[in-house]
Amino acid sequence: MWLIFLNLINMNKKKLNKLIKKIFLNHGLSNKHALIASKSLIKAELVGAPSHGLARLKMYCDRLKRKIINPKPEIKIKKISQSITHIDADNSIGFVAADIGIKNAISNATKTGFGLVGIKNSGHYGLSSFYAEQAVKKNLIVFCFTNAPPAIAPFGSKKALFGTNPICFGTPTGKKIPFILDASASIINRGKIRRAEKLNQKIPSGIALDKYGNPTTNAKKALEGVQLPIAGFKGSGLAWMVDIISGVLTGANHGGKVKDPFKDFTGPQNVGHLFITIKPSIFIGKKYLSQIKKNIGSVKRLPKSNRIKHILYPGEKKYSNYQKNLKRCIEIPKNILEEINKLNVIK
């Protein structure tokens, strides 16, 4: 315990944000794009998802250095109708493409009641909840999808092909805390395994198989093998669905072709994202908010299982992590800070 404690370094958020933004600027991003990217990494740390935070900075920089993330993309936004937009992200860093995409989806739904945005030629965009939150803050219901590099073996196969392809749904709740369900189709997200590998930690049992098909708690072996989907063939089916709507529908890579950003530097990833936004009032008018409050209330009042004090709705935990962590410094494992410092020196 003490060893783990001693290996963590506290850093002030503002200072850290400045440092990460500077590193992105030095790797060719514009001021605006560097700010979007650095804020996304810091936000992941603040909500308690370090799997999608600073531990990934080196990967983004390695790809920017080789220009397989395009530092100066010419993003093309094609309006198909008042509600539908198709975006070619020109291999921008995923955060930027997705930020433009969700803003379009918000604007489309605000005008017409419904927004659909498909994005191709993008990259890894971090947490889907970043984008869902933006839509919910504008009082919209939202779905966010992205595909990802091979990690899950389709049911019946022993070879990884689907990504951990998260499914994200958000809705306003009439309260401060939005409902945001943001879950990968794998039992745990791949970032947690990557971070465990980096920090020399074991992963829980029952979530991955090594390349020979044996259960493993070794992070490196799990990354070489396959991750298990949630609920067997149902999770495999959900990962497949996300691959179809994010990849096939948008014109992005799919069917195992999204490149692994950590180890495949032969070209851009061409990840696809799909955002759907809906005005909650479209069917029942203003009653939506009173109904959703009732709905959540009826779940929260249920008798609790043993040792459970409160029934939470999705998003509550991350919201409370964020509020708590806003007042604190960010804890960074020593080896990740060393990596950041090196990136700050080497261009």
Ligand X SMILES: NC(=O)c1ccc[n+]([C@@H]2O[C@H](COP(=O)([O-])OP(=O)(O)OC[C@H]3O[C@@H](n4cnc5c(N)ncnc54)[C@H](O)[C@@H]3O)[C@@H](O)[C@H]2O)c1
- Summarize as ranges the residues that interact with ligand X (CB under 6 A): 49, 52, 124-129, 146, 148, 164, 166, 168, 180-184, 188-189, 312, 314-315, 317-318
The nearest distance, CB 122 to ligand X, in angstroms, is 10
Q: Which is nearer to ligand X, 231 or 346 (CB)?
A: 231
Q: Which is nearer to ligand X, 28 or 48 (CB)?
A: 48
The nearest distance, CB 166 to ligand X, in angstroms, is 4
Q: Let me know the angle formed at the C-alpha of 156 by 150 and 158, rounded to the nearest 5 degrees.
A: 50
The nearest distance, CB 311 to ligand X, in angstroms, is 7
- Which DSSP string corresponds to 75-97? -EEEE-SSSEEEEE-TT--HHHH
Q: Which is nearer to ligand X, 55 or 180 (CB)?
A: 180
The nearest distance, CB 275 to ligand X, in angstroms, is 13
Q: Which is nearer to ligand X, 108 or 227 (CB)?
A: 227
Task: List the beta strands (DSSP E) in 39-198.
Answer: 76-79, 84-88, 114-122, 141-146, 167-171, 179-183
Burial-class residue 57 by CB neighbours within 10 Å (0-12, 13-18, 19+). buried
**Amino acid identity at 230:** I
**Amino acid identity at 177:** I
The nearest distance, CB 251 to ligand X, in angstroms, is 18
The nearest distance, CB 219 to ligand X, in angstroms, is 15
Q: Which is nearer to ligand X, 264 or 338 (CB)?
A: 264
Rg of the chain on CA atoms, in Å: 20
Half-sphere exposure at residue 28, Cβ-oriented, CA atoms within 13 angstroms: 17
Q: Which is nearer to ligand X, 38 or 227 (CB)?
A: 227
The nearest distance, CB 59 to ligand X, in angstroms, is 12
**Closest to 122 in 3D by CA, of 264, 261, 266, 276:** 261
Whole-angstrom Cα distance, residue 181 to residue 81? 29
Whole-angstrom Cα distance, residue 64 to residue 261? 11
Q: Which is nearer to ligand X, 46 or 49 (CB)?
A: 49
**Closest to 191 in 3D by CA, of 128, 246, 274:** 128
Q: Which is nearer to ligand X, 135 or 168 (CB)?
A: 168
The nearest distance, CB 137 to ligand X, in angstroms, is 17
> Residue 92 phi/psi, 5° resolution?
-70, 165
Helix (H, G, I), strand (E, B) or coil at 323: helix
